[in-house]
């Protein structure tokens, strides 16, 4: 057996998207020796795909905006299932996190008076999204990457070593967390390039691994989104909440087949784009739910006036929260009023001058032209729902990001609670920054207060190594690619945008069979940069997380946000008071009910009673 590579750090951050990098910056600035481990190259994380912007109530475009309004919008978007403390911290701290990015060198689009410009987005009452054209995620990731480089340059000046206190291990996958008793002691994984194993000894681990979209067939997510952090947390003994809530973004590309699912930014609608069916009708007016009737225009004239006069008109229904728009598109297609390739039409060409479209939506223009031969300045796009984001994740303490396992933290998409049953567009990038920073500080405080450091046992290393090598030990087993495709098809068809009890029971049966078959996967070749082996290891995570999603979705007998039950179509105020909590048991997952924490009274006072009556039980309102 070759010598095991070993490293020792104070804080390990798994994932190098927005949350991971912001957490690493914070931990390092608290004096912790910090490592970032990421599956891709540094700077390629999925955050680059975020297009629209960062929601922060800076009030630069409409001075009526403030954190209370943002808080209200976030709670409404999540249908009041959100962890209110997270929603509060998020709304309060997002502006500081955006301004801080400017000190790192970010260049946002500007208002006429030279401040950061803000754009409209679904579910946000005022123009609130700081943005850079439609490539805000790239700006965010590059800015944080460059901030990390600047911290490394500081270390170089001080110690002669760029990596003295902050090091990035890129193209590295973590397969297991290691514990010492009840506490986190480190992480075990492999270099993707060489396949060699590495042990990281560290008393604190921050999960920032993003989402789970690769368990679904049609998704805007990249290969990295295999639910690694969700599964690592479960296996380490932490709990997940809200796993039944999956956001299907209403507008993914539907043609050509090879790009099916790739995101079309909500900014298209925020900047005036409209949805039409095959009859040419703007159908969203038919889908305004009762709870939103007073906020959204019921006719085209008023909706169009809103773009220039927001004080005296209601918003266009194209800007309803994402779950509503996705369901509406789904219904139109099912009713036979879809576009030729099974979506609906999203048109901005008749709404803005060509020059303006190219300026505001350059990467959409580029994407459609290059990949679909569609010129969005002259033709409508064809779009349909795509699996985009998981609201569920590790159950954390809002202030510090700590999970129930000592030393284990989570931030960003892998954590749960902030967005309730549905996330508003733009609230993800702000979530990454606010809670990435908090988790970095939380982990640093934990390490600082520690009297004795945990120790990694040789047995746990031997076990982790054996698990990782298992796919090479077997012959004649199945191809991991085949299993992955079957998993994606099952989740897409049976636990997708519209759900029924019978179908989810079937999904769970299929998942059991897939789990059995996954025991005997076989991979060819050797450990060096072997994608078949990587997928075999990722599948273990996808299967565990998919089981959580299906089990929680089967239990929740109501429809709310990113969870729509055909057999239980209405929202039930009793269910708002319950969280579904997933934990690991054997090689599977169990899901149990737990009461939701009641909303603090001064935060409840921010809403009208008539609005609260739509969501809360009579008992809660008494």
Q: Which is nearer to other proteins, 32 or 132 (CB)?
A: 132
Contact with other proteins (CB under 8 A) among 140, 429, 508, 523: 523
Contact with other proteins (CB under 8 A) among 4, 64, 96, 399: 96
Which residue, among 557, 437, 463, 527, has the nearest Cα to 28 in the 3D structure? 437
| Whole-number Å distance between alpha carbons of 93 and 54 | 12
The single-letter DSSP state of residue 568 is: B
Residue 604, classed as helix, strand or coil, is: helix
Q: Is 532 in the site for other proteins (CB under 8 A)?
A: yes
Minimum distance from residue 528 beta carbon to other proteins (Å): 6
Q: Is 465 in the site for other proteins (CB under 8 A)?
A: no
Contact with other proteins (CB under 8 A) among 15, 17, 95, 477: 95
Which residue, among 174, 201, 199, 207, has the nearest Cα to 185 in the 3D structure? 201
Minimum distance from residue 158 beta carbon to other proteins (Å): 15
Q: Which is nearer to other proteins, 408 or 483 (CB)?
A: 483
Size of the site for other proteins (CB under 8 A): 69
Contact with other proteins (CB under 8 A) among 2, 3, 63, 113: 113
At residue 221, φ and ψ (nearest 5 deg) are -90, 155
Minimum distance from residue 481 beta carbon to other proteins (Å): 4
* Only segment of 242-250, 255-263, 289-297, 587-595 that touches other proteins (CB under 8 A): 255-263
Minimum distance from residue 523 beta carbon to other proteins (Å): 7
Q: Is 529 in the site for other proteins (CB under 8 A)?
A: yes
* Only segment of 68-76, 301-309, 365-373, 410-418 that touches other proteins (CB under 8 A): 365-373
Q: Is 363 in the site for other proteins (CB under 8 A)?
A: yes
Task: Classify the C-alpha dihedral 24-27-30-32 as positive or negative.
Answer: negative
* Only segment of 143-151, 289-297, 419-427, 541-549 that touches other proteins (CB under 8 A): 143-151
| Whole-number Å distance between alpha carbons of 199 and 195 | 13
Q: Is 606 in the site for other proteins (CB under 8 A)?
A: no
Q: Which of residues 164-193 bind other proteins (CB under 8 A)?
A: 193
Cα angle 576, 567, 336 (rounded to 5 degrees) comes to 115
Q: Is 353 in the site for other proteins (CB under 8 A)?
A: no
Q: Which is nearer to other proteins, 148 or 319 (CB)?
A: 148
3-state helix, strand, coil in the chain (%, to 5): 40, 20, 40
Q: Which is nearer to other proteins, 42 or 285 (CB)?
A: 42
User: How far is residue 146 from each of residues 103, 152, 172, 607, measured CA to CA in Å?
Assistant: 11, 10, 20, 41
* Only segment of 9-17, 250-258, 293-301, 542-550 that touches other proteins (CB under 8 A): 250-258
Residue recorded with tokens 């737990």 = 594
Six-digit token string for 498:
């519209």
What is the Cβ-side half-sphere exposure of residue 329, based on CA atoms within 13 angstroms? 30
Which residue, among 40, 274, 24, has the nearest Cα to 151 in the 3D structure? 24
* Only segment of 133-141, 416-424, 569-577, 608-616 that touches other proteins (CB under 8 A): 133-141
Six-digit token string for 486:
């079957």
One-character DSSP codes across 469-517: HHHHH-SS-B-HHHHHHHHHHHHHHHSSSSB-HHHHHHHHHHHHHHHHH
Q: Which is nearer to other proteins, 523 or 582 (CB)?
A: 523
Tally of CB atoms within 10 A around 516: 10
Q: Which is nearer to other proteins, 101 or 548 (CB)?
A: 101
Measured in residues, the chain has a length of 622
Burial of 258 (0-12, 13-18, 19+ CB in 10 A): exposed
Burial of 224 (0-12, 13-18, 19+ CB in 10 A): buried
* Only segment of 105-113, 231-239, 376-384, 539-547 that touches other proteins (CB under 8 A): 105-113
Q: Is 340 in the site for other proteins (CB under 8 A)?
A: no
Active site residues: 249, 269
Minimum distance from residue 257 beta carbon to other proteins (Å): 6
Six-digit token string for 337:
């009023």
CB 388 within 8 A of CB 395: no
Q: Is 66 in the site for other proteins (CB under 8 A)?
A: no
Contact with other proteins (CB under 8 A) among 29, 85, 164, 223: 223
Please name every residue paired with 580 in a beta bridge, in sequence order, or none if there are none: 593
| Whole-number Å distance between alpha carbons of 139 and 146 | 10
Distance of CA 12 to the CA centre of its chain: 20
Q: Is 549 in the site for other proteins (CB under 8 A)?
A: no
The site map against other proteins for 16-55 (x = CB under 8 A) is ------------------------xxxxx-x-xx------
Q: Is 469 in the site for other proteins (CB under 8 A)?
A: no
| Whole-number Å distance between alpha carbons of 389 and 412 | 11
Q: Which is nearer to other proteins, 366 or 609 (CB)?
A: 366
* Only segment of 61-69, 120-128, 430-438, 529-537 that touches other proteins (CB under 8 A): 529-537
CB 360 within 8 A of CB 134: yes
Q: Is 371 in the site for other proteins (CB under 8 A)?
A: yes
Minimum distance from residue 358 beta carbon to other proteins (Å): 12
CB 335 within 8 A of CB 279: no
Binding site for other proteins (CB under 8 A): 40-44, 46, 48-49, 58, 95-96, 99-100, 102-105, 107-110, 113-115, 117, 132-133, 135, 137-139, 142, 146-147, 149-150, 152-153, 156, 162, 193, 222-224, 255-259, 262-263, 363, 366-367, 370-372, 479, 481, 523-526, 528-533
């Amino acid at each position: 057996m070759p010598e095991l590579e070993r490293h020792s750090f104070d804080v390990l951050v798994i994932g190098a998207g927005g949350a991971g990098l912001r957490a690493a910056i914070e931990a390092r600035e608290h004096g912790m020796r910090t490592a970032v481990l990421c599956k891709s190259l540094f700077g390629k994380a999925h955050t680059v795909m975020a297009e629209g912007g960062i929601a922060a109530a800076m009030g630069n475009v409409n001075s009526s905006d403030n954190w209370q309004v943002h808080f209200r919008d976030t709670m409404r978007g999540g249908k009041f299932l959100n962890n209110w403390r997270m929603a509060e911290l998020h709304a309060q701290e997002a502006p500081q996190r955006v301004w801080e990015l400017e000190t790192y060198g970010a260049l946002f689009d500007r208002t006429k008076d030279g401040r950061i410009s803000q754009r409209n987005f679904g579910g946000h009452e005022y123009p609130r999204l700081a943005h850079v054209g439609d490539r805000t995620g790239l700006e965010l990731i590059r800015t944080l990457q460059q901030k990390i480089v600047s911290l490394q340059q500081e270390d170089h000046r001080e110690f002669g070593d760029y990596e003295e206190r902050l090091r990035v291990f890129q193209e590295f996958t973590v397969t297991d967390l290691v514990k010492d008793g009840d506490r986190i002691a480190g992480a075990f994984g492999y270099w993707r390039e060489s396949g060699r194993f590495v042990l990281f000894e560290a008393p604190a681990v921050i999960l920032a691994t993003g989402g789970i979209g690769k368990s679904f067939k049609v998704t805007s997510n990249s290969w990295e989104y295999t639910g690694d952090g969700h599964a690592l947390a479960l296996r380490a003994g932490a709990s997940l909440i809200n796993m039944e809530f999956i956001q299907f973004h209403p507008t993914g590309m539907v043609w050509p087949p090879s790009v099916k699912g790739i995101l079309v930014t909500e900014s298209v609608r925020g900047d005036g784009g409209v949805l039409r069916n095959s009859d040419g009708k703007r159908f969203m007016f038919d889908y305004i739910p009762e709870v939103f009737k007073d906020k959204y225009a019921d006719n085209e004239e008023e909706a169009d006036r809103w773009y220039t006069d927001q004080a005296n008109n209601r918003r266009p229904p194209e800007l309803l929260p994402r779950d509503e728009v996705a369901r509406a598109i789904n219904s139109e297609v099912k009713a036979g009023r879809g576009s030729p390739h099974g979506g609906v039409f999203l048109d901005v060409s008749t709404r803005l001058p060509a020059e303006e479209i190219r300026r505001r939506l350059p990467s959409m223009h580029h994407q459609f032209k290059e990949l679909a031969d569609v010129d969005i300045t002259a033709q409508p796009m064809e779009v349909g729902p795509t699996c985009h984001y998981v609201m569920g994740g590790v159950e954390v303490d809002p202030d510090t990001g700590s999970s129930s396992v000592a030393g284990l933290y989570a931030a960003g998409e892998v954590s749960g609670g902030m967005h309730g049953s549905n996330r508003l567009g733009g609230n993800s990038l702000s979530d990454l920054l606010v809670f990435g920073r908090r988790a970095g500080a939380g982990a640093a405080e934990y390490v600082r207060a520690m009297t004795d450091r945990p120790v990694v046992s040789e047995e746990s290393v031997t076990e982790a190594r054996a698990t990782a090598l298992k796919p090479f030990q077997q012959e004649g087993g199945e191809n991991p690619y085949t299993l992955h495709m079957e998993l994606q098809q099952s989740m897409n068809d049976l636990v997708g945008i519209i759900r029924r009890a019978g179908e989810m029971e079937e999904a769970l049966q299929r998942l059991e069979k897939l789990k059995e078959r996954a025991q005997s996967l076989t991979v060819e070749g050797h450990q060096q940069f072997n994608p078949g082996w990587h997928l075999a290891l990722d599948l273990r995570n996808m299967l565990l997380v998919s089981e959580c999603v299906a089990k929680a979705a089967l239990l929740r007998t109501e429809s709310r946000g990113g969870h729509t039950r055909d057999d239980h179509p209405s929202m039930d105020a009793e269910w708002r008071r319950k969280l579904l909590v997933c934990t690991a048991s054997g090689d599977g997952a169990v899901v149990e009910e737990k009461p939701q924490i009641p909303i603090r009274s001064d935060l409840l006072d921010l809403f009208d009673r008539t609005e609260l009556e739509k969501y809360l039980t009579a008992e809660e309102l008494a």
